[in-house]
């Protein structure tokens, strides 16, 4: 399906000039204000991506369609550490995500990983995201709206350890402080031999999870870490950037055991 060119209410746009970049979820009656002037959202709605819009002071901004990478890294609000794109894309491949899947997510946080997964499993797939912190849920909903993916994520204000309301999940992604505590639940509600993924910041968490995965009969267990090293795009002085995103999380993957 071809992307639409005309900007509509409810779209998120990226306004750019030579110095700055802003992300707006468009809504009639709202305005965007900087020291360079004011723009009504109605001045953008109905335009075409690639057009320019002018503030009341005469300053121009280019209207750009943001990618999901740009939204996650620069557009969404954060209340928690997000799953970075360098990790989320790989996680999606390792889980084998595809359209139509039924996904279990525990720990939605700010919703960055939900955005990546929902984009892949739509139009018929659904993510059931369990989050016990209400303050995170409000931010996640707002961020999913920015990505126009809120219809594909059902958020449950509930600790997964209390037991999910659904079963027969195709895959699961877990972002919890103590993920080993939910392994018995995963064995009950995720389809047998299906992949599950985990992310955690410290090695002691990984060690605890590995021991529990083995004890519970999970197989095809893997531990990985993704390193991303960008370069300065200057032909005469091509070199790595001075600062990089170093450690963002350890990734653990396994498959749910089959009952014999």
**Centroid of chain to Cα 50:** 26
CA 157 → CA 1, 169, 190, distances in Å? 34, 19, 20
Superfamily of domain 70-255: Vaccinia Virus protein VP39 (3.40.50.150)
pLDDT at residue 166 tops 60: yes
pLDDT number for residue 246: 75
179-204 confidence digits (pLDDT tens): 999 999 999 999 999 999 999 999 99
Residue ranges of the chain that CATH labels 3.10.330.20: 12-66
pLDDT at 118: 98
Q: Which of 35, 100, 32, 94 lies closest to 63 in space, CA to CA?
A: 32
Residue 259 confidence (pLDDT): 64
**Cα–Cα distance between 145 and 12 in angstroms, integer?**
9
pLDDT of 86? 93
The Cβ of residue 131 has, within 10 Å, a number of other Cβ atoms equal to 24
- In this prediction the pTM is 0.92
Where are the domain boundaries for CATH 3.40.50.150 in the chain?
Answer: 70-255
How far is the CA of 165 from the CAs of 52, 76, 101, 157, 161, in angstroms?
A: 48, 29, 17, 12, 11
Structure tokens at 39: 């723009």
**What is the pLDDT, as a whole number, of residue 222?**
98
Model confidence at 260: pLDDT above 60: no
Q: What is the pLDDT of residues 210-248, one digit of tens each?
A: 999 999 999 999 999 998 889 999 999 999 998 877 788
Stretch 100-104: mean pLDDT, rounded?
Answer: 98
Measured at the CA of 109, the angle between CA 68 and CA 137, to 5 degrees, comes to 100
pLDDT score of 215: 97
Q: Regarding the domain delimited by 12-66, which CATH topology (the fold level of the hierarchy) does it fall under?
A: Vcp-like ATPase; Chain A, domain 2 (3.10.330)
Whole-number percent of the chain with pLDDT over 90:
92
């Amino acid at each position: 399906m071809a992307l639409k060119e005309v900007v509509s209410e409810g779209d998120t746009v990226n306004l750019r000039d030579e110095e700055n970049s802003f992300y707006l979820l468009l809504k009639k009656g709202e305005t965007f204000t900087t020291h360079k002037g004011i723009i009504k959202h109605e001045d953008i709605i109905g335009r075409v991506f690639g057009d320019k819009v002018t503030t009341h002071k005469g300053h121009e901004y280019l209207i750009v369609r943001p990618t999901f990478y740009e939204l996650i890294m620069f557009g969404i609000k954060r209340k928690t550490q997000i799953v970075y794109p360098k990790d989320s894309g790989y996680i999606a491949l390792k889980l084998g995500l595809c359209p139509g899947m039924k996904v279990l997510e525990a720990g939605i946080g700010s919703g960055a990983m939900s955005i990546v997964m929902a984009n892949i499993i739509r139009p018929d797939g659904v993510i059931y995201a369990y989050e016990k912190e209400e303050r995170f849920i409000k931010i996640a909903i707002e961020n999913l709206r920015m990505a126009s993916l809120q219809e594909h994520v059902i958020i449950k204000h509930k600790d997964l350890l209390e037991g999910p309301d659904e079963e027969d999940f195709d895959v699961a992604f877990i972002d919890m402080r103590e993920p080993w505590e939910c392994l018995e639940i995963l064995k009950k509600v995720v389809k047998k031999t299906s992949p599950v993924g985990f992310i955690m910041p410290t090695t002691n968490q990984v060690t605890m999870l590995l021991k529990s995965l083995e004890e519970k009969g999970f197989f095809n267990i893997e531990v990985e870490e993704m390193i991303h090293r960008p370069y300065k795009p200057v032909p005469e002085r091509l070199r790595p950037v001075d600062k990089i995103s170093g450690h963002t999380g350890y990734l653990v993957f396994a498959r749910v055991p089959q009952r014999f």
